[in-house]
Structure 1
Amino acid sequence: MALARQAVPPFVHLAAHPVRWRLLAELSNGDYRVRELVVRVGEPQNLVSYHLRLLRDSGLVTASRSSNDRRDSYYHLDLDRAAEMLTGACAALHPALQMASTPTELESSVPSMVLFVCAGNSARSAIAEALLRQRAGGRVEGLSAGTRPKPFMHANTVRVLWEEFGIDLSDQRPRHLDTLIDQPFDAVVTLCDKAREICPDFGDDPRWIHWSIPDPVASGSEDSYPAFLATAAEIDTRIRYLLPTLTALDPTKRSA
């Protein structure tokens, strides 16, 4: 009787609506603009915007202005927040249903190939490549490149990876995307709104993922290191949730 009188947990209330559930499912795979979500869920824009507002009010979804077109916004699902709310909902039903709030580990024994792309390949995509290699432990192969690569890695990229993760990137140089155009990939992850618009097609139909992450170099602060800390933390979180999804990919389809 006591359980029956409890309020419905917020996550259950939010996710139970079919439109919100579809929005959560789409955003679990990457960041999208409203017009893209309209197409993906097959609902009118006003309805999609209404449900996105409810998800934003709950803290599950955030929005950020596109660095490519300031009139656009990208929507992002906070998977850590979703895991926390889902864990709370299960525990409210029965203590034995307490769930782990961290993503599962990669189980596939066949390495997948992932490409990370941003503009300069001196910060975001380089950080993503390094963190994926560290977390995957050789079970995933990662590369990064830029559409307009810088001559050198940003000093704060090297610093944050060494001080926070123990990764030495001092000898790595940015790579141009054109040098990888013939390389097959299982997944291509763009971390820059501008790069997303001009990234070329890759063969073998890779999975396309977009992470709309602000450029820490453009933070506007004289000391940009705090922006690099925040960027590395966000990318590390996204990498943790990316790895389990790679088991659904089929690396055997790649050409030799």
Structure 2
Amino acid sequence: MNPHRVVRVLFLSMGNAARSIMAEYLLRRLGHGCFETFSAGVMPRGMVHPLALKVLRERFRLEPEGARSKSWEELREERFDLVITLCDKAHEAWAVWPGQPRAAYWDEPDPVAFEGSEAARERLFIQVGRELSQRLDLLCALPVEKLLHLPHGDAGAAVPL
């Protein structure tokens, strides 16, 4: 990645309690300073799920200091290069973001909504974290020039990344 150009990325989900928080903190580390990362929810839960924090700490050795569930409205004045929606509902709700950033859609299961034993729930959080980490590794491998020349997003359209 070009060390002179920082790419601003927003991860958007419905609740901003797990997937988008994990993606935000994973990309902060994997991107080696080439990305400025944010996360938000269309209808935020108001708290980060404890298993999301546990997985970040124990499996990925990250300290998600300052992680909090917040509304996308809080970030409406921000300009982003890339908005990545992480579920169908967030993708459907996403409207043209100011400045028309590039948009991508990664459908990830919501581990917060999963009903099962505590061990099964934790396994799903770990699985989602691994999938996000793999996608983010691929994103980090893209040259900034190519990433910033993807088609601009519009309501209902996203580029495959």
Q: Give, in whole Å, the separation in 1 of the partners of 2:141 and 2:108.
A: 21
Instruction: Give the aligned residue type for 1:161.
Output: L
Measure, in 2, the Cα distance between the counterparts of 1:125 and 1:203.
20
Please name the residue that 1:125 is paired with: 20
Identity %: 34
Per-residue deviation, 1:246: 5.6
Three-state SS of the structure 2 residue aligned to 1:220 is coil
CA distance in 2, matches of 1:237, 1:107: 20
Answering whether residue 145 of structure 2 is matched by residue 241 of structure 1, we say no
Partner of 2:154: none
Divergent runs of 4+, >6 A:
none
Which residue of structure 2 lines up, in the alignment, with residue 134 of structure 1? 29
Say which structure, 1 or 2, has more relative contact order (CA 8 Å, 6+ apart): 2
Question: Which one has the largest radius of gyration?
Answer: 1
Which of the numbers 40, 44, 66 marks the counterpart of 1:149?
A: 44
Structure 2 CA distance for aligned equivalents of residues 173 and 140 of structure 1: 19
Matched, 1:166 2:73: no
Q: How many residues align?
A: 145
Equivalent residue for 2:110? Answer: 215
Selected match of 1:206 from 92, 101, 104: 101
Of 222, 227, 230, which residue of structure 1 is paired with 2:124? 227
Q: 2:40 touches 2:72 (CA, 8 Å); kept in 1? A: yes
Q: What is aligned with 2:11?
A: 116
Report how far residue 218 of structure 1 moved. 2.0
The answer to whether residue 85 in structure 2 is matched with residue 190 in structure 1 is yes
Shift in CA distance, 246/177, structure 1 to aligned 2, threshold 3 Å: farther
5+ residue gaps, structure 1, are: 1-105, 251-256
What does the per-residue CA deviation read over 1:202-232, in whole Å, with 9 as the maximum and x for residues that have no partner? 1222111000111012222121100000000
Please, what is the CA RMSD of the aligned residues?
A: 1.4
Change beyond 3 A, Cα 1:246–1:182: farther
Higher helix share: 1
Instruction: Report deviation, 1:244.
Output: 2.9
Residues 246 and 199 of structure 1, relative CA distance in 2, 3 Å threshold = farther
Gaps of 5+ in 2: 150-161
| TM-score of the pair, normalised by structure 1 | 0.54
CA contact (8 A) 2:23 2:132 kept: yes
Q: Do the aligned residues in 2 keep the contact of 1:161 with 1:169 (CA within 8 Å)?
A: yes
- Give the match for residue 50 of structure 1: none
For the 8 Å contact 2:11–2:85, the answer to whether it is kept is yes
Q: Which residue identity is paired with 2:73?
A: D
Residue 10 of structure 2 aligns to a residue whose secondary structure is strand
The equivalent residue for 1:5 is none
Which whole-Å CA distance do the structure 2 matches of 1:167 and 1:182 have between them? 28
- TM norm structure 2: 0.85
- What is the alpha-carbon distance in structure 2 between the residues aligned to residue 184 and residue 110 of structure 1? 14
Q: In the alignment, what sits opposite 1:49?
A: none
How far residue 194 of structure 1 moved from its aligned partner, in angstroms, is 0.4
1:186-215 CA-partner distances (Å, limit 9, x unpaired): 000000110000012212221110001110
